Amino acid sequence: MTHRPPHGFQAGMKVEAVDKRNPMLIRVATIVDTEDHRLKIHFDGWNMDYDYWVETDCPDLHPLAGVRIQRGSFRRRLCLRADLIWLV
Protein backbone atom coordinates (compact mmCIF):
# COMPACT_ATOMS: atom_id res chain seq x y z
CA MET A 1 0.00 0.00 0.00
CA THR A 2 1.37 3.40 -1.00
CA HIS A 3 1.37 6.21 1.56
CA ARG A 4 -0.54 9.26 0.37
CA PRO A 5 0.27 12.62 1.94
CA PRO A 6 -2.47 14.69 3.59
CA HIS A 7 -4.54 16.54 1.00
CA GLY A 8 -5.89 19.51 2.96
CA PHE A 9 -9.41 19.38 1.48
CA GLN A 10 -12.30 19.65 3.96
CA ALA A 11 -16.09 19.53 3.81
CA GLY A 12 -17.42 23.02 3.12
CA MET A 13 -14.45 24.14 1.00
CA LYS A 14 -15.14 25.81 -2.34
CA VAL A 15 -13.35 24.34 -5.36
CA GLU A 16 -13.31 24.53 -9.14
CA ALA A 17 -14.33 21.22 -10.68
CA VAL A 18 -14.84 19.89 -14.18
CA ASP A 19 -18.48 19.23 -15.02
CA LYS A 20 -18.47 15.48 -15.73
CA ARG A 21 -21.59 15.78 -17.92
CA ASN A 22 -20.04 18.58 -19.96
CA PRO A 23 -16.24 18.31 -19.59
CA MET A 24 -15.66 21.54 -21.50
CA LEU A 25 -16.98 23.45 -18.46
CA ILE A 26 -15.40 24.16 -15.10
CA ARG A 27 -17.80 25.13 -12.33
CA VAL A 28 -17.72 26.40 -8.76
CA ALA A 29 -18.47 23.55 -6.38
CA THR A 30 -18.46 22.71 -2.69
CA ILE A 31 -16.93 19.66 -1.02
CA VAL A 32 -19.88 18.15 0.85
CA ASP A 33 -18.23 14.97 2.20
CA THR A 34 -14.81 13.38 2.54
CA GLU A 35 -13.75 9.76 2.87
CA ASP A 36 -9.99 9.24 3.19
CA HIS A 37 -8.65 10.50 -0.15
CA ARG A 38 -12.03 10.81 -1.83
CA LEU A 39 -14.20 13.91 -1.97
CA LYS A 40 -17.88 14.32 -2.76
CA ILE A 41 -18.35 17.35 -5.01
CA HIS A 42 -21.59 19.35 -5.22
CA PHE A 43 -21.95 21.97 -7.95
CA ASP A 44 -23.26 25.20 -6.42
CA GLY A 45 -26.77 26.02 -7.62
CA TRP A 46 -27.43 22.51 -9.00
CA ASN A 47 -29.37 19.65 -7.46
CA MET A 48 -27.72 16.59 -5.91
CA ASP A 49 -28.19 14.51 -9.08
CA TYR A 50 -24.99 16.13 -10.38
CA ASP A 51 -22.85 15.37 -7.30
CA TYR A 52 -19.97 12.94 -7.73
CA TRP A 53 -17.04 11.41 -5.85
CA VAL A 54 -13.47 12.12 -6.95
CA GLU A 55 -9.97 11.24 -5.73
CA THR A 56 -8.10 14.12 -4.06
CA ASP A 57 -5.33 13.96 -6.66
CA CYS A 58 -7.75 14.24 -9.60
CA PRO A 59 -6.43 16.80 -12.13
CA ASP A 60 -9.99 18.08 -12.69
CA LEU A 61 -10.31 19.52 -9.18
CA HIS A 62 -8.56 22.57 -7.70
CA PRO A 63 -9.00 24.99 -4.80
CA LEU A 64 -11.15 27.94 -5.75
CA ALA A 65 -9.27 30.67 -7.59
CA GLY A 66 -10.44 33.51 -9.75
CA VAL A 67 -13.92 33.86 -8.29
CA ARG A 68 -14.73 37.38 -7.27
CA ILE A 69 -16.87 38.26 -4.30
CA GLN A 70 -19.42 40.83 -5.31
CA ARG A 71 -21.79 42.37 -2.74
CA GLY A 72 -21.19 39.56 -0.26
CA SER A 73 -21.92 36.69 -2.64
CA PHE A 74 -19.92 34.66 -5.08
CA ARG A 75 -20.01 35.70 -8.68
CA ARG A 76 -19.95 32.37 -10.47
CA ARG A 77 -17.21 31.79 -12.95
CA LEU A 78 -17.86 29.46 -15.82
CA CYS A 79 -14.77 28.57 -17.81
CA LEU A 80 -14.54 26.89 -21.15
CA ARG A 81 -11.69 24.42 -21.40
CA ALA A 82 -9.25 24.94 -24.22
CA ASP A 83 -5.97 23.41 -23.13
CA LEU A 84 -6.64 25.01 -19.77
CA ILE A 85 -3.70 25.51 -17.46
CA TRP A 86 -4.63 25.70 -13.78
CA LEU A 87 -3.00 28.55 -11.92
CA VAL A 88 -2.43 27.56 -8.31
Are 62 and 77 a contacting pair, CB within 8 Å? Answer: no
**All structural domains of the chain with their residue ranges:** 1-87
Residue 84 CB contacts under 8 Å (≥ 6 apart), including other chains = 26
Helix (H) or strand (E) holding 73: strand 73-74
Return the H-helix or E-strand segment holding 81: none
CATH number of the domain at 1-87, please? 2.30.30.140
pLDDT of residue 66: 54
Task: Give the whole-number percent of the chain exceeding pLDDT 70.
Answer: 72
Show the low-confidence residues of the chain (pLDDT under 50).
67-88
